[in-house]
């Protein structure tokens, strides 16, 4: 290699040094200081350095954002525009985001620690595709005229719900945001976005790019701040019609409570998971082990649908575990700004400590540490929050590590003796988000996937799909569905009109 050629790390670091951050809240088309006048420090998990001050939004900011969103909705500046024109703005929004993809990817990487190249290839591609997909759908949905008689006409039309609060997590900050604002804006709603604390600066830029693309003022407001302040104020606001939430089980249930105690707004919770990847005896166990490990370490394991449990039949246990161990060796953490890094930093010191504690208790419960370490990983800089991928074998289904979401790079291997035991173990948590299934037998693929309690089942793959497939779960994973035309249901009301002729 030519030593004078800049490395990917040099290039990203040079771009990072030119970034500037403006704290504020984006309300009614303008970035303004929060009415609280307070800020908090955003610490990068890459190296522990303070990246920026972020405005700590207040309930007064939420009031202002809701007032702006309501006014924009009622005067028809967006809801009253022809669907094909709304679609054109969303497609332009996708183009503007694509033109700033490197900067957005870099912000995300510095904020929450995932590799910048991954943010660019996966996160940015996802939001651009999502905005385009809903932009293209805008004028393709029809209404219904189901009943007719000689003297009457029945119409069923879809109306936008009004003001939508979108509350999102930090792990796939722009993907999750796109999944919510895409269908909500397409349908004509006005939106208030509350990003996770950690990923506020990428969210604010996204809001500014929406304005640049021609979204009218007040249609997309962004209010960063603490969940317990901004999130709760949105959840309890009497003039918010819909809350679309992705995050943890506990906070999702709080939103149901906020709704019950305020105006009965509809709440769509999309929550955590403890997904099983089931490996049957006839499977390609090498592919199963590799892919399952990838699915539990990708994005530092900070993935709601992570394949965090490999439920594998004893006949192929050794082969599947060997492949998982091999995969773990190829995914050691590295600098998020180095394109060679397959895994970046854990989002925060608090999350890192939580993961270490869970693994420590798993070892006390009798699990075996087959790969990784509970010690912090040093990428060579002596700084930042890193953890090498961990594989635990000898895990029993009743252990905490097999029941509770880690949200970190930890794979638990559970050995089973039969197909029916595999199904029982896979279904034996309160969650129902996703599952993997590995088999070459077509009948087994159908038979077992029908019995897996999961909103998505991946057969002989993991984390695949496209915008046409809905995503969400059941049980403790909540019941909201993102993506696909079905997501439009969350943000619209059906109106029946009966006309006597």
Judged by CB, which is closer to ligand NAP: 284, or 482?
Answer: 482
Structure tokens at 249: 């089980």
Longest alpha-carbon distance in the chain: 83
Instruction: Give the nearer residue to ligand NAP in terms of CB position, either 18 or 466.
Output: 466
Picking from 484, 456, 488, the residue whose alpha carbon sits closest to that of residue 470 is 484
Binding map of ligand NAP across residues 111-150, x = CB under 6 A, - = no contact: ----------------------------------------
Q: DSSP secondary-structure letter at 488?
A: G
Window 264-283: residues binding ligand NAP (CB under 6 A): 270-273
Number of neighbouring beta carbons within 10 Å of residue 498: 9
Spatial contact of 495 and 287, defined as CB atoms under 8 Å apart: no
Is 270 in the active site?
A: yes
Q: Does 407 bind ligand NAP (CB under 6 A)?
A: yes
Stretch that binds ligand NAP, among 14-22, 98-106, 194-202, 382-390 (CB under 6 A): 194-202
**161 phi and psi angles, rounded to 5 deg:** -70, -30
* Cβ atoms < 10 Å from Cβ of 396: 14
CB of 226 to ligand NAP, least distance (A): 5
* Minimum separation from the CB atom of position 276 to ligand NAP (A): 15
Question: Of these residues, 208, 270, 302, 405, which one is catalytic?
Answer: 270
Is there binding between residue 431 and ligand NAP (CB under 6 A)? no
Work out whether strand 276-279 and strand 309-313 pair parallel, antiparallel, or are unpaired: parallel
Decide if residue 369 touches ligand NAP (CB under 6 A): no
Give Cα separations from 80 to 189, 190, 488 (angstroms). Answer: 10, 12, 17
Residue 324 · residue 311 · CB < 8 Å: no
* CB of 229 vs ligand NAP, minimal distance in Å: 8
User: Could you tell me if 91 and 428 are in contact, meaning their C-beta atoms sit under 8 angstroms apart?
Assistant: no
Choice between 224 and 397, CB closer to ligand NAP: 224
Q: Which of 44, 58, 190, 246 lies at the binding interface for ligand NAP (CB under 6 A)?
A: 246
Residue 235 makes contact with ligand NAP by CB under 6 A:
yes
* Least Å from the CB of residue 295 to ligand NAP: 14
| Cβ-contact 259, 432 below 8 angstroms | no
Residue 179 beta carbon to ligand NAP: minimum distance, rounded to whole angstroms: 8
Half-sphere exposure for 384 (CA within 13 Å, toward CB): 28
Q: Which residue has the tokens 């704290």?
A: 23
Residues tagged active-site = 270, 304
Q: Using CB under 6 A as the criterion, which residues of the chain lie in contact with ligand NAP when the complex forms?
A: 167-172, 176, 194, 196-197, 226-228, 231-232, 235, 246-248, 251, 254, 270-273, 304, 405, 407, 433
């Amino acid at each position: 290699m030519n030593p004078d050629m800049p490395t990917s790390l040099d290039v990203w670091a040079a771009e990072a040094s030119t970034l500037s951050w403006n704290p504020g809240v984006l309300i009614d088309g303008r970035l303004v200081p929060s009415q609280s006048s307070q800020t908090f420090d955003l610490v990068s998990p890459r190296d522990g350095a303070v990246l920026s001050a972020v405005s700590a939004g207040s309930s007064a900011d939420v009031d202002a954002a809701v007032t702006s969103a309501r006014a924009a909705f009622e005067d028809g500046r967006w809801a009253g525009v022809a669907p094909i024109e709304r679609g054109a703005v969303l497609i332009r929004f996708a183009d503007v985001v694509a033109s700033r993809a490197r900067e957005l990817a870099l912000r995300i990487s510095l904020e929450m620690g995932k590799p910048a190249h991954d943010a660019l290839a996966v996160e940015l591609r996802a939001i651009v595709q999502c905005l385009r997909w809903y932009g293209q759908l805008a004028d393709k949905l029809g209404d219904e005229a189901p009943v007719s008689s000689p003297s009457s006409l029945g119409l069923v039309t879809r109306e936008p719900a009004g003001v939508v609060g979108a509350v999102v997590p930090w792990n796939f900050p722009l993907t999750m945001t796109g999944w919510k604002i895409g269908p909500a804006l397409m349908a004509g709603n006005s939106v208030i976005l509350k990003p996770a604390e950690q990923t506020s600066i990428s969210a604010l830029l996204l809001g500014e790019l929406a304005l640049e693309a021609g979204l009218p003022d007040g249609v997309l407001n962004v209010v960063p701040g603490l969940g317990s302040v901004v999130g709760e104020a949105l959840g309890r606001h009497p003039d918010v019609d819909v809350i679309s939430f992705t995050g943890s089980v506990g906070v999702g249930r709080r939103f149901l409570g906020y709704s019950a105690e305020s105006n009965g707004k509809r709440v769509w919770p999309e929550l955590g998971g403890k997904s099983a990847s089931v490996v049957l005896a006839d499977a390609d166990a090498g592919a199963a082990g590799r892919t399952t490990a990838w699915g539990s370490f990708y994005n530092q394991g900070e993935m709601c649908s992570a394949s965090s449990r490999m439920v594998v039949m004893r006949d192929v246990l050794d082969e599947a575990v060997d492949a998982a161990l091999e995969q773990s060796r190829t995914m050691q953490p590295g600098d998020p700004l180095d394109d060679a890094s397959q895994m970046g930093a854990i989002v925060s010191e608090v999350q890192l400590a939580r993961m270490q504690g869970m693994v420590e208790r798993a070892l006390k419960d009798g699990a075996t540490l087959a790969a990784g370490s509970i010690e912090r990983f040093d990428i060579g800089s002596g700084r930042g929050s890193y953890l090498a991928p961990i594989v635990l074998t000898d895990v029993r289904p009743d252990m905490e590590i097999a029941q509770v979401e880690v949200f970190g790079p930890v794979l638990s291997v559970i050995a089973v003796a039969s197909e029916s035991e595999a199904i029982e173990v896979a279904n034996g948590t309160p969650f129902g988000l996703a599952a993997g299934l590995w088999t070459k037998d077509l009948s087994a693929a159908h038979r077992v996937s029908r019995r897996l309690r999961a909103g998505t089942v991946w057969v002989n793959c993991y984390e695949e799909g496209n915008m046409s497939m809905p995503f969400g779960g059941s049980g403790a994973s909540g019941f909201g569905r993102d993506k696909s035309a079905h997501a439009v249901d969350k943000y619209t009301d059906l109106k029946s009109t009966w006309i006597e002729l």
